[in-house]
Structures are given as structure tokens and as C-alpha cells.
């Protein structure tokens, strides 16, 4: 195992139990560690890999696998996903057995309610950091704004939006 892969596994293993609200809430910290602290890739590549993972089938967390692949090849892709999934899966396995008892407990509602602003703030951080690395010029910023409005106001399927945006880029309308 390369030094970078061990570092990735430790990072993902730690982030696993912090990923309240799914993969996108840990993006800011992933970017901070992978891009800013350990310089495994630049912010632009990080954003491109995130975009690629969005366009692929499967859970949002696939970006972790793609980062692993980029840093350390096939073993990187496999170990990264096992490290991000391991700790949270063990927790889910254990809690699933006793969940019925706590489902309607008042403290559970308080915890869930209290986590919401933190999850929301982390997601806004993710969006801000991603937009900073994907807005290479004003036309791409406009594309992000237009796609956001489209996603918020219509029930459009994500796939045509991604394909359309890639096509606009390829033919040179944006970027």
C-alpha cells in the first residue's frame, strides 16, 4: 500500500462516522485534507471527480471511490469505499437491532432536529467550495445558477441536466 492510500483510508475511516446527512456533508473536509493539506490533487481535479461521480450510477459516496482510484488505482478505489463505509455500517448494523425501542423517544427527535442546521450549513459549505472551483468563467457560473433554478422549480430528472451541461461545454457554449 502506498503512503497516500494509507492516508486516504485513515481519512475516510474518520469521516465515516461524521457523515451525518450523507456524503455531501463531508465534502468540505475531504477537499481540505486531500487538496489543501496533503496536495494529492488540485481543487479543479477534485471538482471534476465529484462531477464524474454524480454522472455515474450508484450512491453519492462514489466520489470517494473515484478519489481512491485517482490516487492509488484499483486498490485505491476498493479500499477507499470500504474505509468510508466500514465504521458507519457497523454502527447501522448494531443500532438497527434496537431501533424500535428508540424510534419514538423524545431525545431522538431533539437530536434529529438539532443536527439539521449543522447538516444544512455543511451542505452550503460544500456547494460554496465546489462552485468556487467549477466557476472558471462567468458562463459556467451562469450555467450553475440556471441548473440550480431548474432543479429547485421543476421535477426534472438529474441525468438530462448533467448531459445537457456536458454538451454545452463540449460544443463551447460555456467554459
Residues 22-61 that bind other proteins (CB under 8 A): 22-24, 26-29, 32, 36, 47-61
Nearest one of 158, 154, 137, 145 to 60, comparing CA atoms: 158
51 near 66, Cβ under 8 Å? Answer: no
Residues 104, 147: Cα–Cα separation, whole Å: 38
Of 7, 16, 40, 83, the one binding other proteins by CB under 8 A: 16
21 lies in the site for other proteins, by CB under 8 A:
yes
Instruction: Give the helix ranges, DSSP H, for 58-134.
Output: 62-102, 106-134
Residues with Cβ within 8 Å of 109's Cβ and at least 6 positions away in sequence, in order, are: none
85 lies in the site for other proteins, by CB under 8 A:
yes
Nearer to other proteins, 1 or 167 (CB): 167
Residues 112-151 that bind other proteins (CB under 8 A): 112-131, 133-136, 140-141, 143-148, 150-151
166 lies in the site for other proteins, by CB under 8 A:
yes
Nearer to other proteins, 6 or 121 (CB): 121
Amino acid at each position: 500500500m502506498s503512503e497516500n492510500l494509507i492516508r486516504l483510508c485513515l481519512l475516510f475511516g474518520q469521516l465515516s462516522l461524521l457523515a451525518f446527512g450523507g456524503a455531501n456533508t463531508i465534502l468540505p473536509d475531504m477537499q481540505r485534507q486531500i487538496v489543501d493539506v496533503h496536495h494529492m490533487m488540485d481543487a479543479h481535479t477534485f471538482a471534476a471527480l465529484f462531477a464524474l461521480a454524480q454522472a455515474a450510477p450508484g450512491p453519492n459516496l462514489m466520489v470517494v471511490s473515484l478519489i481512491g482510484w485517482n490516487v492509488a488505482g484499483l486498490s485505491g478505489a476498493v479500499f477507499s469505499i470500504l474505509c468510508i463505509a466500514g465504521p458507519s455500517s457497523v454502527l447501522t448494523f448494531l443500532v438497527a437491532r434496537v431501533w424500535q425501542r428508540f424510534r419514538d423517544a423524545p431525545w431522538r427527535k431533539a437530536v434529529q432536529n438539532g443536527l439539521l442546521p449543522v447538516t444544512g450549513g455543511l451542505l452550503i459549505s460544500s456547494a460554496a467550495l465546489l462552485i468556487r472551483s467549477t466557476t472558471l468563467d462567468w458562463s459556467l457560473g451562469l450555467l450553475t445558477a440556471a441548473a440550480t433554478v431548474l432543479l429547485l422549480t421543476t421535477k426534472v430528472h438529474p441525468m438530462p441536466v448533467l448531459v445537457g451541461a456536458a454538451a454545452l461545454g463540449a460544443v463551447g457554449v460555456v467554459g
